[in-house]
């Protein structure tokens, strides 16, 4: 496959940045999208040019490191996959592909296609945990009965890898699917109920302070989420938050 | 409570409550307007009751005006905040791949409805306030002794362009409601086993009510 790539290039956080055109030839349809970018970078290095900076780590859809807004969609046109799991067979010979960083005020661009997603970490620090006595008297988690339905929902919420596709896809740059998943995975379990009130209040407060937008329920986040996190998690977070806020 | 309204979830909850309130009002407005198709006398009697009963005039009406203003002001506030949350737009964005046109353009359908409300107030509400509270005529009667409400209604649908404008506005209302109904329930946290049923009901509501208003406008245009 021969492709034209339109890629966002930005030297650093302060640079204005622009879209730059590149040609790549002889791309195998069986390559992953990131392997295709590796080929491009080899070409650029051989020509003495600066390679395109992009995030990646596990390359098997688990770490949540890869991002990229490809042809107008987070993680590209395929469903239920991260960019590293996206294959070039999703494109046609001669295609022009737009490759941009995830855009949000709360995800500032560091370089080229790499964005700073530490705002997610700060939301987690605000309440995305449970406090457990680890001094030797810890109760085995398996000794606490959990309703199967709740366990399944909590597990589904916990599959969120925090990649930020929800924010990138949302027209409002809202992080409510991410925060909803993190709130839900604890709120549904007995271990998480003890700190539930403070957790949701603190995580939502941090989310707002980071500058994410307001959810308007377009559902784009759910469609583009590589792990299929459901909008139910946002509704659950809304209930948890309203109940916690009324408690004071 | 002020803390709730300063949070993103609190704002969307307040937006949803005002939307649910306005949807209930819309149903009531539609029901009364529909009476004009079946019975001139009944329409006149109900209109006179609604226009003179103290509870409607001095309690429900101010609440309704507050609800309308709150919904629009909060809509603009949220729109500005949301636009500010992404300062650089994508060079290519395929929004239709993951969301409906209605959900992405609530501000535009909302602005069209706001413009229509301006026209509607000019047509009905301002003259009503003038007659009742400036001229002090609470009788609801024409010089010939008949009720004025049905006469005033039909008079407004003589001009074809006004009828066209009303019909276009109701299309925007339908588009707004097609997303707004289910969105309001999601914002209040109501996502459960009834959600699919509610979404179906919401779609029916979003189509039937505006279509009904179009029917009433056309009925009076062709029967005046």
Cα of B184 to nearest chain A Cα, Å: 9
CATH hierarchy code of domain A3-111: 3.10.20.30
Residues of chain B positioned with their CB less than 8 A from the CB of A19: 91
Q: CB distance from B2 to chain A under 8 Å?
A: no
Measured between beta carbons, the chain B residues lying within 8 angstroms of A106 are 85
What is the residue whose two structure tokens read 């590589």?
A226
Query: Three-state SS string across chain B, please?
Result: CHHHHCCHHHHHHHHHHHHHHHHHHHHHHHHHHHHHHHCHHHHHHHHHHHHHCHHHHHHHHHHHHHHHHHHHHHHHHHHHHHHHCCCCCCCCCCHHHCCCHHHHCHHHHHHHHHHHHHHHHHHHHHHHHHHHHHCCCCCCECCCCCECHHHHHHHHCCCHHHHHHHHHHHHHHHHHHHHHHHHHHHHCCCCCCCHHHHHHHHHHHHHHHHHHHHHHHHHHHHHC
Strands A69-70 and A109-111, how do they pair? unpaired
- Give the residue-averaged pLDDT of A207-215: 97
Q: How many angstroms away from the CA of A128 is the closest CA of chain B?
A: 18
Q: Smallest Cα–Cα separation from A121: which of A100, A141, A107, A109?
A: A107
Q: Is residue B179 part of a domain?
A: yes
Is residue A17 within 8 Å of A109, Cβ to Cβ?
yes
Across all residues in chain B, what is the average pLDDT?
94
Q: Quick check: B174 pLDDT over 70?
A: yes
Q: What is the pLDDT of residues A97-113, one digit of tens each?
A: 999 999 999 999 999 99
What does the alpha-carbon distance between residue B123 and residue B22 come to, in Å, rounded to a whole number? Answer: 20
CB contact under 8 A, B99 and A214: no
User: Which residues of A fall within a CB distance of 8 Å from B187?
Assistant: 215, 217, 238
**Alpha helices (runs of H) in chain A, residue ranges in sequence order:** 33-46, 118-127, 148-158, 165-169, 176-187, 190-193, 196-209, 220-224, 232-247
pLDDT at B1: 54
Residues 6+ apart with CB under 8 A from A70: A33, A76, A77, A83, A86, A97, A98, A99, A100
Pick among B3, B6, B15, B86 to test the A interface (most A CBs inside 10 A): B86
Average confidence (pLDDT) over B159-174:
96
- Per-domain residue ranges of chain A: 3-111, 118-247
Handedness of CA A156, A161, A166, A167 (dihedral sign): positive
Euclidean distance between CA atoms B190 and B193, whole angstroms? 9
Contact A171 B104 (CB under 8 A): yes
Residue B195: band (very low, low, confident or very high) from pLDDT cuts 50, 70, 90: confident
Q: What is the pLDDT of residues A4-22, one digit of tens each?
A: 999 999 999 999 999 999 9
Q: Which domain holds residue B6?
A: 2-86+99-223
Q: What's the rounded Cα separation, in Å, for the pair A68 and A5?
A: 13
Quick one: closest CA in B to A179, which residue? B9
Closest residue of B to A19, CA-based? B91
**Number of domains into which chain B is organized:** 1
Point out the residue among B11, B86, B183 whose CB comes nearest to the CB of A104. B86
**Is the Cβ pair B86, A8 closer than 8 Å?**
no
Question: Residue B94: inside a domain, yes or no?
Answer: no
Q: How far is A137 from chain B (nearest CA, A)?
A: 37
Structure tokens at A223: 């469609």
Chain A contact for B108, CB < 8 A?
Answer: no
Average pLDDT over residues A165-193: 97
Complex prediction ipTM = 0.93
pLDDT at residue B191, as a whole number: 77
Minimal CA separation from B190 to chain A, in Å = 6
Bridging pattern class, strands A109-111 and A3-9: unpaired
Q: Is B134 on the interface with A (CB under 8 A)?
A: no
What are the pLDDT digits (tens) for B2-58?
577 889 999 999 999 999 999 999 999 999 999 999 999 999 999 999 999 999 999
Residue A208 has pLDDT above 70, yes or no: yes
Instruction: Test B12 with A238 for CB contact under 8 angstroms.
Output: yes
CATH number of the CATH domain containing B156:
1.20.1300
Owner of token pair 């109920």? A193
| B158 and chain A in contact, CB less than 8 A | no
Distance (Å) from the C-alpha of residue A89 to the closest C-alpha of chain B?
19
Mean of the pLDDT values across residues B133-156?
A: 91
What's chain A's average pLDDT? 96
Q: Which CATH architecture has domain A118-247?
A: Orthogonal Bundle (1.10)
Domain for residue B91, yes or no? no
Indicate whether B93 belongs to any domain. Answer: no
More confident residue, B192 or A83: A83
- Residue B92 lies inside a defined structural domain of this protein: no
Contact A223 B12 (CB under 8 A): no
How far does A120 lie from chain B, in Å, by closest CA? Answer: 15
Q: How sure is the predictor about A133, in pLDDT bands with cuts at 50, 70 and 90?
A: confident
pLDDT of residue A138: 80
Q: What percent of chain A has pLDDT over 70?
A: 100
Please tell me which residue of chain A has the smallest CA distance to B195. Answer: A232
Q: Is residue B47 part of a domain?
A: yes
8 Å CB contact of A213 and B82: yes
List the Cα angle B149/B151/B154 in 5-degree steps. Answer: 110
């Amino acid at each position: 496959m021969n492709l034209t790539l339109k890629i966002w290039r930005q030297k650093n956080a302060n640079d204005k940045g622009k879209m730059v055109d590149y040609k790549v030839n002889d791309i195998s349809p069986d390559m992953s999208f990131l392997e295709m970018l590796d080929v491009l970078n080899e070409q650029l290095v051989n020509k003495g040019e600066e390679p395109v900076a992009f995030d990646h780590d596990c390359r098997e859809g688990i770490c949540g490191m890869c991002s990229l807004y490809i042809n107008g969609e987070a993680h590209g046109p395929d469903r239920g996959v991260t960019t590293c799991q996206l294959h070039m067979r999703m494109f046609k010979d001669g295609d022009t592909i737009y490759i941009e960083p995830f855009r949000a005020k709360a995800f500032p661009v560091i370089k080229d296609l790499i964005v700073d997603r530490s705002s997610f970490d700060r939301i987690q620090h605000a309440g995305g945990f449970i406090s457990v006595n680890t001094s030797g008297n810890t109760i085995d988690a398996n000794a606490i009965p959990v309703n199967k339905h709740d366990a399944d929902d909590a597990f589904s919420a916990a599959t969120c890898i925090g990649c930020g596709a929800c924010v990138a896809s949302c027209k409002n740059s809202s992080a409510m699917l991410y925060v909803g998943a993190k709130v839900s995975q604890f709120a549904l379990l007995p271990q998480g109920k003890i700190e539930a009130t403070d957790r949701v209040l603190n995580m939502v407060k941090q989310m707002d302070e980071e500058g994410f937008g307001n959810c308007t329920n377009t559902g784009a986040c759910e469609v583009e989420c590589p792990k299929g996190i459901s909008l139910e998690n946002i509704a659950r977070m809304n209930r948890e938050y309203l109940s916690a806020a009324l408690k004071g | 409570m002020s803390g709730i309204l300063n949070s993103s979830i609190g704002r969307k909850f307040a937006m949803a409550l005002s939307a649910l309130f306005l949807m209930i009002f819309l149903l009531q407005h539609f029901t009364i307007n529909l009476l004009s198709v079946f019975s001139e006398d009944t329409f006149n009697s109900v209109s006179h009751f609604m226009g003179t009963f103290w509870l409607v005039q001095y309690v429900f009406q101010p609440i309704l005006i507050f609800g309308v203003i709150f919904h629009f002001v909060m809509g603009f506030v949220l729109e500005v905040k949301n636009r500010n949350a992404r300062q650089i737009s994508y060079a290519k964005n395929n929004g239709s791949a993951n969301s409906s046109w209605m959900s992405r353009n609530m501000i535009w359908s909302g602005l069209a409805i706001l413009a229509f409300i301006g026209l509607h107030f000019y047509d009905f509400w301002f003259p009503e306030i003038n007659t009742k509270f400036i001229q002090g005529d609470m009788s609801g009667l024409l010089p010939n002794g008949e009720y004025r409400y049905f006469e005033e209604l039909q008079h407004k649908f003589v001009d074809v362009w006004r009828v066209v404008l009303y019909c276009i506005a109701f299309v925007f209302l339908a588009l707004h409601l097609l997303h707004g109904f289910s969105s309001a329930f999601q914002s209040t946290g109501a996502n459960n086993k009834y959600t699919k049923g509610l979404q179906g009901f919401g779609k029916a509501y979003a189509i039937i009510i505006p279509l009904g208003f179009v029917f009433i406008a056309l009925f009076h245009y062709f029967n005046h």
